[in-house]
Structure 1
Amino acid sequence: MTAPILQASSLTKHFGGQPVLNALDWQVRPGQVIGLLGRNGAGKSTLLECLLGLRERDGGTVTVFGETVGDLSPATRARIGYVPQASDLFEWMTAQQMLAYFAALYPRWNGARVAQLLARWGFDALMCGKPISKLSGGEKQRLSIIRALAHDPELLVLDEPVSALDPVGRREFLRELVDDVIGRGTTVVFSTHILSDLERVALDVAFLKDGKIALQGGLDDLLERARRLSGPAALLASVKVDGELRRTSTSDGLVHVITGAANAGLLALAAREPALRLEPLSLEDLFVEVTQ
């Protein structure tokens, strides 16, 4: 099996004595396109920052392309593209000056691609000559994306990359991501709260809850096998459900069991017992059930 590009073992991070990442283990393999999901405050940004060495971890190890994240070589850093949730651009520079600065740092800087993206996303000569501080939030976000894509990274980490974009900007970015970046085999980790966008892009999804990856798998496979099994408590008390993620009881005596691994046995049980109801789950349903 191909060695992982990103690997975290027992990754731990605390804020104010509270664990945000709790001995988390995770692997990202070459060519994967993973949507990272979690509730607000679950620690998605913290996880991505720790994986890239941008935030100090309290415990555990992280390797990127086989190197310890705290000691990445310049050659390895040049293989990574990153778009943070909050703009980290040099706001006293113009867009043209900032891109020229980064072009000098990256041996694989693709000037033709930068010019193409600037033109496609509305950065004319006037806009490129403005101080970045004078650009709108959406324009800054587009510029961050252009900077991250400009050196054709092998690993692209995106933290809520479309949060400041309007619907047209989101559509253009997702088209670029699908048609070019993913088409070239780039490994992508994509954090977003817009599930419809994730469904258009991600091949795999990972759910972050209580500081750990609670569930991960191929998006199509998870949606194919995720089910809600509902029925009387007396009937379900003795039922063991493979891949059980959550079990709750309601005041009317019903029990709801969420599974991410519905199999032939469970389907047969539901067919035999008229009191049981088995329902498929959408990605939104699965997100709610796994992360609450």
Structure 2
Amino acid sequence: MTEVVVAINALKKTFGRQGVLRGVDWQLKKGQVVGLLGRNGAGKSTLLECMLGLRESDGGAVTLFGEPVHALSEASRARIGYVPQTADLFDWLTPVQMFDYFSALYPRWNDARVEGLMLRWGFHGEARNKPIGRLSGGEKQRLSIIRALAHEPELLVLDEPVASLDPVGRRDFLRELVGEVIDRDTTVVFSTHILSDLERVALDVAFLKDGRIGLQAPLDELLDGARRVTGTGAALDALCLEGEIRRERHADGAVSVVARLSPAELDSLRGMAAVRVEALNLEDLFVEVTR
């Protein structure tokens, strides 16, 4: 049986009168790579912070590696890597000094990997010894990513990790993620608004909507089956599509259904004159699921 790394049950978080997380149930298994999607303000960062115990929840339970998140052992904490949306570093230290400090905290800290990443990502010469507070936002984000990868975590949580990186930096990071992290059977949660990046690395996609995980499935499976089917209400009602996600009536009386269709359902729709079937890409599906 595959190990459950993250187990979230009925997780709730409220800010004032606004319920951001409304009973989230979610599981992540060993080696699973999940892209977390949701509109701005949907609560993605809040979910990840509550998942890691960085923000107190208002109800529900979270376990990581089988331990309650509020009582994690030091050994379990050492198995986690986290890249926040905004780099949280020691601005008064240099990159070399900061990594020397963190290396003493993690038994599996990999100095050779840190050195290799620093060289590949532009931290050589003066950049190695410049106070972090004087570095650019993109350079700070690179350092944050190096810090998260250096101890070879078994759970890697990335909250918009490439938001402040230029296209070259994003490409370098994604290459590192695919080549070094995913191949080690690391469990990865990757929140991003750049869908093209997500398609390069995510094996599964989860959509956060209305405070819950509204849909999760393998990305290839979603894209293979996601369709917009348009026709009369009577025609679509007669089809009884089981994977219906959303239904919309148009001014001309036509009805559109967005659904995850099985191979049998796709076969049954081929050649039907009464309906029109359109394939959806990830951006289309994101818009439809989170609407």
Tell me the amino acid that sits aligned with residue 267 of structure 1: D
Matched residue, 2:156: 156
Matched residue, 2:280: 281
Cα distance in 2 for residues equivalent to 1:126 and 1:271:
63
Cα distance in 1 for residues equivalent to 2:78 and 2:35:
23
What SS does structure 1 have at the residue aligned with 2:208? strand
CA contact (8 A) 1:14 1:58 kept: yes
- Report how far residue 239 of structure 1 moved: 3.7
What SS does structure 2 have at the residue aligned with 1:81? strand
Cα distance in 1 for residues equivalent to 2:88 and 2:183:
27
Cα distance in 1 for residues equivalent to 2:260 and 2:211:
20
CA contact (8 A) 1:20 1:42 kept: yes
Cα distance in 2 for residues equivalent to 1:275 and 1:166:
47
CA contact (8 A) 1:227 1:262 kept: no
Tell me the amino acid that sits aligned with residue 100 of structure 2: A
Matched residue, 1:229: 229
Per-residue Cα deviation, 1:62-112 (whole angstroms, up to 9, x for no partner): 000000001111100000000000111111211111111111100110000
C-alpha RMSD of matched pairs (Å): 1.1
Per-residue Cα deviation, 1:214-251 (whole angstroms, up to 9, x for no partner): 11011101111111111012322444211111001110
Confirm or deny that 1:252 pairs with 2:252. yes
CA contact (8 A) 1:48 1:159 kept: yes
CA contact (8 A) 1:241 1:266 kept: no
Tell me the amino acid that sits aligned with residue 157 of structure 2: V
Contiguous gaps of at least 5 residues in structure 2: none
- Report how far residue 213 of structure 1 moved: 0.6
- Report how far residue 185 of structure 1 moved: 1.2
Matched residue, 1:72: 72
What SS does structure 2 have at the residue aligned with 1:234? helix
Matched residue, 2:174: 174
In the TM superposition, structure 1's runs of 4+ consecutive aligned residues that sit over 6 Å from their partners are none
CA contact (8 A) 2:12 2:23 kept: yes
> What TM-score does the superposition give when structure 1 sets the normalisation length?
0.97
Matched residue, 2:113: 113
Contiguous gaps of at least 5 residues in structure 1: none
Matched residue, 2:136: 136
- The residue correspondences of 1:89-108 to structure 2 (distance < 5 A) are 89-108=89-108
Tell me the amino acid that sits aligned with residue 93 of structure 1: L
Tell me the amino acid that sits aligned with residue 198 of structure 1: L
> What TM-score does the superposition give when structure 2 sets the normalisation length?
0.97
Aligned residue pair count:
291
What SS does structure 2 have at the residue aligned with 1:170? helix
Counting aligned pairs with the same residue, the percent is 65
- Report how far residue 133 of structure 1 moved: 0.6
